[in-house]
């Protein structure tokens, strides 16, 4: 494979530079061409000299070709449009009741919320007196509904052991989980709104589960979790974000521009609510990675954005989505 790529690399270099003067394949003919008033390009001859003089150069150039091939392929297949990564979304609906068999409109309403929340287009993005407005992020990831699969089942609730992701357990296997975000919509039970698999897990169970009563903004979506923010929060986890309180008293979320919280916030905290941790910082309770009601959360931070985008870079754990 390496040898083939190197051959391709050298072949493409050979044809790359001499469009203006295809006869200038060696020094003397190039000189002749220049003398005859043609434009010449010496880059390829220069490269050949450097390749002879430096035996390590070929390997470095090969590495560049490997990177270019991966990145260029993503751009050509249209998954990076104007710098914005597009993620195909597969929605797997598992239902027993007709209410659980949510409508296409409810599904689309959730896709719309994800697109607003991840592109600073949510109507509450500019909420007045946000003390953290200077670190608000436009994450720049778009979600495209790719397919909806529906399956009638006899289960009243699915729990959190991934049964909904396995056809052998009555669920639906994920579709192309290394290139598509799979969402499972079903009744979870136990007061759980949703849960996600972090990067690094098995692709057979990769994706996000959302209870159908907290999915989207219409149909069966139920207050105070009827603004589609459960999926925003869970997709944040799927993109490697931790809870803002670091899942411990005054814990760390591994993001430097979010303040330390002593614990999760619920409902809609009072403006100016402070942490009891060192320095008593103002809490960023309006962050999607807190536990407030849907109407109380409306931003990711720039540090969270960097953390999310990192996994999609070449070499990142979700680079296959590029």
Binding status of residue 293 toward ligand ARG by CB under 6 A: yes
Residue 255 binds: one of ligand ARG, Ca ion, none (C-beta under 5 to 8 A by kind): Ca ion
Query: How far apart, in whole angstroms, are the C-alpha atoms of residue 239 and residue 146?
Result: 19
Binding status of residue 233 toward ligand ARG by CB under 6 A: yes
Query: How far apart, in whole angstroms, are the C-alpha atoms of residue 109 and residue 232?
Result: 12
* Contact in structure between 309 and 139 (CB atoms under 8 Å): yes
Buried/exposed code over 24-40 (b: 16+ C-beta within 10 A; e: otherwise): beeeeebeebeeeeeeb
Provide DSSP, 186-229: E---TT--EEEPPTTS-GGG-SEEEEGGGSSSSTT--TTS-SSH
Closest CB to ligand ARG among residues 31, 157: 157
Beta-bridged to residue 150, according to DSSP, are 93
Least distance between ligand ARG and beta carbon 197 (Å): 12
Exactly one of 20, 86, 234, 283 is catalytic; which is it?
234
Window 241-280: contact mask with ligand ARG (x via CB under 6 A)? ----------------------------------------
Among 294, 305, 308, 311, binds ligand ARG (CB under 6 A): 294
- Binding to ligand ARG, residues 66-125 (CB under 6 A): none
Q: Which residue in the shown chain puts its C-beta closest to Ca ion? A: 258
Query: How far apart, in whole angstroms, are the C-alpha atoms of residue 307 and residue 239?
Result: 8
**Active site includes 234?**
yes
Among 80, 84, 192, 277, binds ligand ARG (CB under 6 A): 192
Binding status of residue 198 toward ligand ARG by CB under 6 A: no
Helix (H, G, I), strand (E, B) or coil at 271: coil
Number of residues that bind ligand ARG (CB under 6 A): 13
């Amino acid at each position: 494979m390496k040898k083939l790529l190197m051959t391709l690399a050298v072949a493409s270099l050979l044809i790359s530079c001499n469009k203006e003067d295809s006869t200038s394949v060696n020094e003397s003919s190039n000189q002749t061409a220049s003398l005859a008033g043609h434009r010449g390009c010496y880059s390829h001859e220069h490269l050949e000299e450097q390749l002879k003089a430096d035996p390590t150069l070929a390997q470095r150039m090969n590495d560049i070709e490997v990177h270019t091939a991966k990145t260029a392929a993503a751009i050509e297949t249209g998954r990076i449009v104007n710098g914005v990564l597009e993620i195909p979304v597969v929605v797997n609906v598992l239902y027993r009741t007709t209410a659980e068999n949510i409508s296409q409109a409810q599904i689309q309403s959730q896709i719309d919320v994800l697109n607003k929340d991840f592109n600073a287009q949510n109507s509450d993005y500019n909420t007045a007196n946000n003390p953290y407005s200077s670190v608000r992020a436009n994450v720049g990831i778009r979600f495209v509904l790719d397919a909806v699969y529906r399956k009638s089942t006899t289960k009243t609730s699915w729990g959190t052991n991934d049964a909904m992701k396995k056809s052998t357990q009555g669920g639906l296997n994920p579709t192309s989980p290394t290139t598509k975000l799979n969402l499972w919509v079903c009744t979870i039970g136990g007061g759980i709104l949703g849960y996600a698999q972090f990067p690094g897990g098995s692709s057979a169970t990769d994706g996000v589960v959302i209870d159908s009563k907290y999915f989207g903004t219409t149909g069966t979506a139920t207050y105070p979790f009827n603004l589609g923010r459960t999926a925003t929060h869970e997709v944040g986890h799927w993109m490697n974000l931790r809870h803002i309180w670091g899942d411990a008293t005054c814990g760390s979320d591994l993001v430097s521009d979010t303040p330390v919280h002593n614990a999760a916030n619920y409902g809609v905290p009072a403006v100016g609510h402070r942490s009891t941790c060192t320095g008593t910082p103002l809490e960023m309770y309006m962050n999607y990675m807190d536990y407030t009601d849907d109407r109380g959360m409306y931003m990711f931070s720039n540090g969270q954005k960097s953390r999310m985008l990192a996994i999609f870079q070449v070499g990142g754990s979700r680079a296959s989505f590029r």
